[in-house]
């Protein structure tokens, strides 16, 4: 069997040639990407910058799989992260935007790890794919997490301050996810109108950089911790997930079931640990 081509074509990511972002400047890359992510509108006689929200159809081996409402930018990474979370791919794949960007269609090459479902997913910007058997579904796809690093509570509390959010700073309308090493250095940051999309983009980038599983790394999100974010982090093998906001009951249950360290209300130098306290120093 020939190995799949790897990378993301066109301006969405240029992943086939780009080096891992650990050696780059993720904040500057985010500022450059924000050109497609924001648009100008007039209100009260003034001009505001607001987040762009558009549909993206994700196709795998020529078949439509999902339509997601997202903020344009890093679309190839989004598609790869989404398909990985659905168990349809197990590593990096080549992804091409349609020749006409206005078509908002991205094609992901094979091989696929399993046959896509007959029904298409529709994913809104407010929540991910829901109603899939919750804990049982994740338990089948993701083994218990690796021991991972032990991290100081003060560092976990400080992660949101280290999370680059240039488009949010200009619009106030996007969520962000950041991938960090165990010393708190930011490796990758992505923004999107959908919090699950931002995480899919980060995981897609990690697939291309061959970092998955994220067994020695940390994820931080800019908002609350809902089930689908814990699900995606668990499937990517990340042992520690931190959020600025509150976790939900199902998020806590899933984190405890998978052996994940889950931290919420990371702000003002403090953080609450809801699961996996053994990794917090």
Nearest to 165 by CA among 198, 196, 197: 198
What is the spatial distance between Cα 116 and Cα 95, in angstroms, rounded to a whole number? 17
Look up 127 and say whether it is catalytic: yes
Query: Rg of the chain's alpha carbons, rounded to an integer?
Result: 18
Residue 100's pLDDT is what? 59
What is the spatial distance between Cα 200 and Cα 118, in angstroms, rounded to a whole number? 22
CATH 1.20.1110.10 applies to domain 153-279: no
Mean pLDDT, consecutive 10-residue stretches, the chain (281 aa), reads 46 36 44 70 90 91 90 95 93 84 82 78 54 57 88 98 85 90 98 95 98 98 95 96 97 94 97 98 95
DSSP for residue 247 = B
Q: Please give the distance of CA 273 from its chain centroid, rounded to a whole number.
A: 22
Beta strands in 159-275 (DSSP E): 175-180, 186-192, 218-221, 240-243, 261-267, 270-275
Residue 5's pLDDT is what? 43
Question: Choosing from 127, 220, 238, 263, which is the catalytic residue?
Answer: 127
| Residue 194, both tokens | 């959908």
Residue 16's pLDDT is what? 34
Residue 217's pLDDT is what? 98
What is the spatial distance between Cα 120 and Cα 257, in angstroms, rounded to a whole number? 29
Is the alpha carbon torsion for 116, 117, 118, 119 positive or negative?
A: negative
What is the spatial distance between Cα 202 and Cα 165, in angstroms, rounded to a whole number? 13
| Residue 132, both tokens | 């899939």
What is the spatial distance between Cα 29 and Cα 269, in angstroms, rounded to a whole number? 27
Residue 143's pLDDT is what? 76
What is the spatial distance between Cα 146 and Cα 184, in angstroms, rounded to a whole number? 19
């Amino acid at each position: 069997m020939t190995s799949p081509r790897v990378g993301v074509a066109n301006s969405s990511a240029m992943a086939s040639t780009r080096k891992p972002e650990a050696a780059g400047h993720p904040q500057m890359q985010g500022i450059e990407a924000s050109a497609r992510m924001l648009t100008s509108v007039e209100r009260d006689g003034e001009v505001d910058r607001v987040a762009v929200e558009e549909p993206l159809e994700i196709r795998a081996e020529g078949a439509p799989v999902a339509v997601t409402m997202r903020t344009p930018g890093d679309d190839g990474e989004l598609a790869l992260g989404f398909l990985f979370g659905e168990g349809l791919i197990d590593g990096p794949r080549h992804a091409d935007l349609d020749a006409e960007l206005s078509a908002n269609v991205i094609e992901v090459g094979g091989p696929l790890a399993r046959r896509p479902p007959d029904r298409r997913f529709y994913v809104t910007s407010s929540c991910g794919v829901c109603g899939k058997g919750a804990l049982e579904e994740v338990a089948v796809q993701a083994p218990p997490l690796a021991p991972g690093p032990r991290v100081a509570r003060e560092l976990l509390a400080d992660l949101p301050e280290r999370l680059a959010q240039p488009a949010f700073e200009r619009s106030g309308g996007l969520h962000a996810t950041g991938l960090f090493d165990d010393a708190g250095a930011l490796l990758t940051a992505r923004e999107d109108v959908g919090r699950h999309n931002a995480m899919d983009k980060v995981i897609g980038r990690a697939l291309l950089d061959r970092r998955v599983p994220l067994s020695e790394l940390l994820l931080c999100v800019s908002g609350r911790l809902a089930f689908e974010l814990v699900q995606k982090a668990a499937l990517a093998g990340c042992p520690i997930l931190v959020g600025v906001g509150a976790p939900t009951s199902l998020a806590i249950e899933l984190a405890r079931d998978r052996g994940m360290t889950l931290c919420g209300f990371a702000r003002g130098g403090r953080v609450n640990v809801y699961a996996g306290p053994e990794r917090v120093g």
